[in-house]
């Protein structure tokens, strides 16, 4: 009787970090639904998945590495390398069915080499995977300096295919809530990862290896487990997941470039930690990583829906969340250690049930304090956002100081009869291009130093407007995102006028901040508008 109660308490404690993650996600989501009308649309929930499939895949690989007591910093680099290598091969006319397996093998080999360094040369995982990250990023630029766009039909198909949610969508009109193929792949990867972790010898070995500052590795070795082999395997799996995530990312953004996925390793590690897997290893559940990713995506979309907060708040909130989760975990482990000592000293029997309950209450209170801190940080963020809101969204002006944005000019063009006016500002070359499309098919482009004209047919313009409308341009699913662009990124301001409706949406690339459909739209527009002659 007593024993089972102790066991149950131990079990509860084991699942507590995961439970905390899940409940935090649910609470934050409910708070968002209450605060923002746009969140009440079911798709806003599914968008948390559709904008992050690559993160989900990465979290599985990184989670396994972290459970085994290591760390993999190379994931972002391998993602970028995969996007560039696959884009280059596809542009050369390779078959995508050949390119995809090739990339996966590349990921496996990349992971294997790092694993061998770590296992047999006894290199710190941090250093070995750091070298891997630099090597992968450097190789990207050896392959191509500039962004390579992907026009492969299979990639387009995978990017565009929607899987409608039964019961929440109408199969006849194909409208309603959906997920993408990539999300299904990501969930499958998570399922396979969970199976590996809990139902195989490999999984038991990685749990045995991790934790206790590397001392457990020695114990695992003494138990006769294949520590060395497993270590190489775990980095191979992580490399494989990175390559798979790289393919997912290149499908998602439709291009390959060395700056893709910059800093993604940090996002992934943060998601793993928030998901209840401590970096010491040996503990946690991969499914927690799923919720870690969802929480980061949710924070990002809450900040977007707020509209006045810049996206750097995302990093502050994620940092604060990590602090709370690490705090809770270290408290739990201290308590575990204390209880273990107490049991060894034989004091558990004397005052067990009452003190246990009291301790549980105490633990709950500590957790509540942690949650309160997170909420407080978030509320403070909101409050500051309201105050600084008078300055307007930050993203527009910060990208390039060389040339100002010309939204006023775009508005004039719209008044002058243009049906689409869009400005593309920023990039490594700090360009400022303004395109205006008129209903008669005339397209005028101006980059401040020169003007280019092109004549399209009126039906082409009509078709473009109709397809933009079909993307949901005038619905709440398309919204402006305010975000400070990175050095190489572009910010877009697009105004569209169609059947008496007019709407302007701003977005910044270089991440997952904007709705995916926005990029479909800019992709379509870029095929229609004239190109500027290359500078001399």
CB 434 → another protein: shortest distance, Å?
Answer: 23
Question: Contacting another protein (CB under 8 A), which of 91, 219, 315, 382?
Answer: 315
Closer residue to another protein (CB): 154 or 323: 323
Question: Contacting another protein (CB under 8 A), which of 98, 127, 163, 383?
Answer: 127
Closer residue to another protein (CB): 129 or 495: 129
The answer to whether residue 318 forms part of the interface with another protein (CB under 8 A) is: yes
Between residue 49 and residue 88, which ones bind another protein under the rule CB under 8 A?
Answer: 71
CB 213 → another protein: shortest distance, Å?
Answer: 8
The answer to whether residue 112 forms part of the interface with another protein (CB under 8 A) is: no
- Calpha distance 457→428 (Å, rounded): 33
Look-up of token digits 């305010």:
482
Q: Which stretch binds another protein (CB under 8 A): 136-144, 223-231, 248-256, 527-535?
A: 136-144
- Calpha distance 121→219 (Å, rounded): 20
- Calpha distance 109→89 (Å, rounded): 18
Helices 312-345, 264-274: inter-axial angle, 10-degree rounding:
40
Between residue 239 and residue 268, which ones bind another protein under the rule CB under 8 A?
Answer: 258, 266
CB 290 → another protein: shortest distance, Å?
Answer: 20
Determine contact, residues 523/483, Cβ cutoff 8 Å: no
Between residue 426 and residue 485, which ones bind another protein under the rule CB under 8 A?
Answer: 484
The answer to whether residue 148 forms part of the interface with another protein (CB under 8 A) is: no
The answer to whether residue 16 forms part of the interface with another protein (CB under 8 A) is: no
CB 133 → another protein: shortest distance, Å?
Answer: 8
Measured CA distances, 112 to 84, 117, 264, 434 (Å): 21, 9, 21, 48
Count of CB atoms situated within 10 Å of the CB of 31: 15
Question: Contacting another protein (CB under 8 A), which of 279, 373, 411, 520?
Answer: 279
- Calpha distance 512→326 (Å, rounded): 26
Question: Contacting another protein (CB under 8 A), which of 109, 116, 326, 411?
Answer: 326
Q: Which helix (H) or strand (E) holds 199?
A: helix 181-199
The answer to whether residue 230 forms part of the interface with another protein (CB under 8 A) is: no
Question: Contacting another protein (CB under 8 A), which of 4, 350, 401, 536?
Answer: 401
Residues 359-388: x where in contact with another protein by CB under 8 A, - otherwise, as a string? -------------------------x---x
Tokens describing residue 4: 């089972």
Closer residue to another protein (CB): 131 or 154: 131
Residues 30, 32, 36, 39, Cα dihedral to 10° = -80
b or e along 350-371 (b: 16 or more beta carbons within 10 Å of the residue's beta carbon)? eeeeeeeeeeeeebeeebeebb
For residue 80, report the phi and psi dihedrals to the nearest 5 degrees. -60, -45
Q: How many CA atoms lie within 13 A of 218 on its CB side?
A: 4
Closer residue to another protein (CB): 315 or 348: 315
Question: Contacting another protein (CB under 8 A), which of 269, 294, 443, 529?
Answer: 269
The answer to whether residue 536 forms part of the interface with another protein (CB under 8 A) is: no
- Calpha distance 113→116 (Å, rounded): 5
The answer to whether residue 135 forms part of the interface with another protein (CB under 8 A) is: yes
- Calpha distance 356→366 (Å, rounded): 15
Question: Residues in the site for another protein, rule: CB under 8 A?
Answer: 71, 117, 120-124, 126-128, 130-135, 137-139, 141-142, 145, 258, 266, 269-270, 273, 278-280, 310, 312-316, 318-320, 322-323, 326-327, 330, 334, 384, 388, 391, 394, 397-398, 401, 484, 486-487
């Amino acid at each position: 009787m007593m024993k089972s109660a102790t066991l149950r308490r131990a079990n509860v404690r084991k699942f507590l970090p995961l439970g905390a993650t899940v409940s935090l996600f649910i609470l934050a989501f409910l708070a968002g639904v209450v605060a923002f009308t746009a969140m009440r649309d079911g798709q806003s929930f599914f968008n948390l998945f559709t904008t992050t499939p690559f993160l989900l895949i990465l979290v599985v690989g990184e989670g396994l590495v972290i459970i085994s007591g290591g760390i993999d910093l190379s994931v972002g680099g391998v993602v970028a390398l995969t996007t560039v290598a696959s884009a280059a091969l596809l542009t050369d006319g390779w078959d995508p069915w050949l390119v995809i397996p090739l990339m996966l093998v590349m990921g496996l080999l990349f992971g294997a080499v790092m694993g061998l360094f770590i296992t047999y040369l006894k290199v710190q995982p941090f250093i070995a995977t750091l070298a891997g990250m630099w090597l992968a990023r450097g190789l990207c630029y050896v392959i191509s300096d500039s962004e390579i766009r992907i026009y492969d039909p299979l990639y387009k198909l995978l990017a565009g295919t929607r899987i409608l949610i039964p019961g929440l969508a109408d199969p006849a009109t194909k409208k309603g809530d959906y997920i993408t193929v990539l999300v299904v792949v990501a969930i499958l990867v998570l399922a396979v990862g969970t199976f590996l972790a809990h139902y195989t010898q490999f999984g038991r070995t990685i749990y045995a290896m991790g934790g206790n500052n590397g001392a457990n590795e020695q114990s695992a070795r003494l138990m006769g487990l294949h520590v060395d082999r497993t270590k190489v395997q775990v980095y191979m799996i992580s490399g494989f997941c990175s390559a798979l995530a790289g393919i997912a990312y290149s499908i998602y953004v439709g291009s390959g470039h060395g700056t893709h996925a910059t800093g993604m390793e940090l996002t992934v590690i943060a998601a793993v930690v928030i998901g209840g897997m401590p970096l010491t290893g040996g503990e946690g559940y991969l499914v927690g990583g799923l919720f870690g990713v969802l929480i980061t995506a949710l924070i990002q979309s809450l900040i977007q829906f707020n509209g006045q907060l810049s996206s750097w708040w995302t990093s502050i909130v994620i940092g604060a969340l990590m602090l709370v989760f690490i705090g809770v975990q270290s408290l739990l482990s201290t308590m575990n250690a204390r209880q273990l000592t107490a049991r060894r000293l034989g004091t558990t029997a004397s005052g067990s049930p009452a003190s246990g309950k009291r301790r549980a209450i105490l633990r709950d209170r500590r957790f509540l304090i942690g949650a309160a801190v997170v909420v407080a940080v978030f509320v403070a963020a909101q409050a500051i956002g309201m105050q600084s809101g008078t300055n307007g969204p930050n993203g527009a002006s910060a990208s390039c100081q060389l040339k100002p944005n010309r939204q006023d000019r775009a508005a004039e063009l719209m008044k002058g009869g243009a049906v689409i006016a869009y400005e593309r500002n920023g990039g490594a070359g700090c360009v400022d291009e303004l395109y205006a499309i008129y209903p008669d098919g005339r397209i005028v482009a101006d980059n401040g130093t020169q003007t280019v004209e092109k004549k399209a047919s009126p039906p082409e313009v009509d078709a473009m407007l109709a397809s933009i409308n079909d993307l949901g341009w005038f619905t709440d699913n398309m919204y402006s995102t305010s975000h400070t662009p990175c050095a190489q990124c572009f910010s877009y301001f697009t105004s569209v006028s169609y059947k008496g409706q007019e709407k302007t949406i701003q977005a910044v690339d270089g991440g997952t901040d904007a709705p995916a459909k926005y990029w479909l739209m800019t992709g379509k527009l870029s095929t229609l508008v004239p190109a500027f002659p290359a500078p001399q």
